């Protein structure tokens, strides 16, 4: 665009010279055009026209007190805050939050713009130059592709960071593999390779995007995962093994055949025995004594004991995310002991009324990352494979991904064997790829 503009200006100038060779200087002057470039930052502000002050919100400081420092009247502050409540509420200013004040270059500088950083990507821009205006501006996000290999020596988190990758990658991987790998049981020598997207804003890492490919070596077994989005898929299942099988395993909807739900999940339930209002972070299933209770998913038994008000209790860790508990059991299932592995659908006990109970029922509880959640709202997508009619597309996508991964592996080998001994840094090499 710029080259085209300069070319047009050149043509106009030549035409002007040609047309004015007879001495008509006024026509020549009318045809002369100049290109004026105005430097504008990410917020749309012409930065060359203002002086900029950068600061942070002090503890106990308010929008009104900040604006007072820059000479705004209480009426101006009221007008702009009340008219922009649907855009940004100034009560959301946080201590330590960064802001930028753009001041005019006058003998008595005036505040032209005030920019507050909501997060790494979004800012709210207050415009005082003409009429009062407020807008939310999002900075550009740059997506890059990266490849990382990590060997576990101490912990997944630390070793990922030591390899030069963000620990966020470890969190993403633990989410993908939470159904197949016990991340509490990682061993020294376990390893992973990952080809993934990184999201940057202002040159700083914002987040880890989609992990296009990963292979995790654990306990002598390899677990491959491929990213693939099915057309018109409403379940959001995006990760599959090499056979097109889902990396996620479904939980059962309920751990038993029950008659009814006698009590739901609540933080304000009145206890039927004590009559006190107290949290009930589970679901009570009313069922006859002796009804089999099964584990809703594969896992390891953490507890098998009498738990006071909970009576006979079995607690199972399914993965690094989910843990479940089964309370008031009349007795335990065969082979159920601490440390034993259980399969989805395996009988782990029988409905009873042990502990503090008004009758036979199962109190079923679920924790996600250590926080109680409502079992009835638990995310449990079906572990369906990719449909046969979509397998050709999946295989094509998988092949393309593996080709890219092979390139990264070869590039890393070339760097380690050839460039590193020459003193070329990894950053220089990566920037040239």
Q: Which of 35, 94, 30, 14 is nearest to 61 (CA)?
A: 94
Query: pLDDT at position 271, please?
Result: 54
* Span 211-219, average pLDDT: 95
Using alpha carbons, list the distances in angstroms from residue 280 to 3, 272, 321, 349.
Answer: 70, 11, 21, 21
Q: 22-32, pLDDT tens digit by residue? A: 445 554 444 44
CB of 77 closer than 8 Å to CB of 69? no
CA gap 398, 242 in Å, rounded? 8
Q: Which two tokens stand for residue 285?
A: 């299933």
Q: In sequence order, which ranges of 32-166 are alpha helices (DSSP H)? A: 63-69, 74-83, 156-162
Using alpha carbons, list the distances in angstroms from residue 284 to 3, 14, 70, 223, 235.
Answer: 73, 88, 60, 37, 28
CB of 158 closer than 8 Å to CB of 172? no
CA gap 343, 323 in Å, rounded? 14
Query: pLDDT at position 190, please?
Result: 95
Query: pLDDT at position 273, please?
Result: 55
Query: pLDDT at position 37, please?
Result: 56
Cβ atoms < 10 Å from Cβ of 200: 15
Strand stretches in 23-163, DSSP E: 50-56, 98-104, 111-117, 122-127, 133-138, 142-151
CA gap 88, 93 in Å, rounded? 10
Q: 163-178, pLDDT tens digit by residue? A: 989 999 998 998 898 7
Query: pLDDT at position 3, please?
Result: 39
Q: Three-state SS for 257? A: coil
Query: pLDDT at position 40, please?
Result: 67
**φ/ψ of residue 217, rounded to 5:** -100, 120
Query: pLDDT at position 256, please?
Result: 86
Q: Which two tokens stand for residue 65?
A: 């007190």
pLDDT band for position 200 (cuts 50, 70, 90): very high
pLDDT band for position 252 (cuts 50, 70, 90): confident
| Residue 143 CB partners (closer than 8 Å, separation 6+) | 197, 198, 199, 200, 209
CB of 146 closer than 8 Å to CB of 198? yes
In this structure, which topology does domain 260-377 adopt according to CATH?
Glucose Permease (Domain IIA) (2.70.70)
CA quadruple 196, 201, 207, 209: dihedral positive or negative? negative
Q: Which residues is 101 bridged to in the sheet?
A: 53, 114
Mean pLDDT of the chain: 84
Element (H, E) at 14: helix 2-19
Cβ atoms < 10 Å from Cβ of 295: 25
Query: pLDDT at position 241, please?
Result: 94
CA gap 264, 269 in Å, rounded? 9
CB of 319 closer than 8 Å to CB of 179? yes
Instruction: Give the best-scoring range by mean pLDDT among 39-43, 259-263, 305-309.
Output: 305-309
Query: pLDDT at position 98, please?
Result: 94
CATH number of 47-138: 3.10.450.350
Tell me which of 3.40.50.410, 3.10.450.350, 1.20.1630.10, 3.30.70.3000 is the CATH number of domain 140-250+387-433.
3.10.450.350
Cβ atoms < 10 Å from Cβ of 398: 19
Query: pLDDT at position 433, please?
Result: 55
Q: Which of 28, 26, 24, 25 is nearest to 16 (CA)?
A: 28
* Span 178-201, average pLDDT: 88
Query: pLDDT at position 234, please?
Result: 64
Same fold, 47-138 and 260-377: no
Percentage of the chain beyond pLDDT 70 is 82
Query: pLDDT at position 250, please?
Result: 72
* Span 302-319, average pLDDT: 94
Q: Three-state SS for 276? A: coil
Q: Which of 346, 114, 385, 419 is nearest to 245 (CA)?
A: 385
**φ/ψ of residue 50, rounded to 5:** -135, 155
Query: pLDDT at position 33, please?
Result: 46
Domain spans, the chain: 2-31, 47-138, 140-250+387-433, 260-377
Q: 54-101, pLDDT tens digit by residue? A: 999 999 999 999 999 999 999 989 988 998 889 999 999 999 999 999
Q: What is the pTM of this model?
A: 0.60
Using alpha carbons, list the distances in angstroms from residue 221 to 18, 176, 181, 215, 218.
Answer: 80, 16, 10, 10, 5
Percentage of the chain beyond pLDDT 90 is 51
CB of 322 closer than 8 Å to CB of 366? yes
Instruction: Give the best-scoring range by mean pLDDT among 209-223, 241-255, 416-430.
Output: 209-223
pLDDT at 381 over 80: no
CA gap 133, 39 in Å, rounded? 21
pLDDT at 320 over 80: yes
pLDDT at 52 over 90: yes
């Amino acid at each position: 665009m710029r080259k085209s503009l300069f070319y047009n200006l050149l043509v106009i100038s030549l035409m002007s010279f040609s047309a004015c060779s007879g001495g008509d200087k006024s026509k020549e002057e009318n045809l002369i055009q100049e290109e004026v470039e105005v430097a504008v930052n990410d917020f749309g502000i012409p930065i060359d026209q203002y002086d900029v002050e950068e600061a942070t919100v002090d503890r106990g400081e308010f929008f009104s007190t900040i604006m007072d420092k820059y000479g705004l009247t209480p009426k101006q502050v009221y007008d702009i805050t009340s008219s922009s409540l649907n855009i940004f509420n100034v009560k959301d200013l946080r201590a330590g939050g960064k802001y930028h004040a753009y001041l005019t270059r006058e003998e008595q500088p005036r505040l032209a713009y005030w920019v507050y950083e909501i997060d790494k990507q979004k800012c709210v821009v207050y415009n005082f130059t003409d009429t009062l205006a407020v807008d939310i501006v999002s900075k550009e996000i740059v997506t890059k592709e990266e490849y990382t290999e990590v060997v576990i020596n101490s912990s997944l988190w630390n070793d990922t960071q030591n390899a030069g990758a963000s620990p966020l990658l470890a969190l993403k991987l633990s989410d993908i593999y939470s159904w197949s790998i016990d991340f509490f049981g990682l061993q020294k020598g376990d390893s992973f390779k990952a080809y993934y997207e990184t999201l940057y804003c202002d040159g700083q890492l914002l987040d880890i995007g989609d992990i296009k490919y990963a292979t995790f070596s654990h306990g002598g077994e390899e677990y491959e995962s491929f990213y693939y989005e099915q057309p018109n898929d409403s379940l959001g299942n995006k990760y599959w093994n090499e056979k097109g099988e889902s990396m996620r395993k479904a939980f059962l909807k309920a751990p038993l055949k029950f008659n009814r739900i006698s009590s739901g999940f609540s933080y304000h339930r009145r206890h039927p025995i004590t009559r006190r209002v107290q949290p009930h972070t589970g679901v009570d299933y009313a069922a006859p004594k002796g009804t089999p209770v099964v584990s809703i998913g594969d896992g390891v038994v953490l507890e098998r004991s009498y738990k006071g008000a909970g009576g006979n209790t079995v607690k199972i860790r399914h993965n690094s995310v989910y843990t479940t508990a089964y309370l008031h059991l009349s007795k335990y299932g065969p082979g159920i002991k601490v440390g034993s592995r259980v399969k989805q659908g395996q009988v782990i006990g029988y409905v009873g009324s042990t502990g503090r109970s008004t009758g036979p029922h199962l109190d079923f509880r679920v924790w996600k990352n250590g926080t109680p959640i409502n079992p009835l709202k638990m995310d449990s997508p079906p572990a369906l494979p990719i449909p046969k009619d979509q397998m050709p597309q999946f295989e094509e996508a998988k092949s393309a991904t593996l080709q890219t991964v092979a390139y990264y592996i070869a590039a890393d080998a070339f760097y380690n064997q050839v460039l590193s001994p020459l003193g070329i840094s990894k950053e220089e090499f990566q920037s040239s790829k």
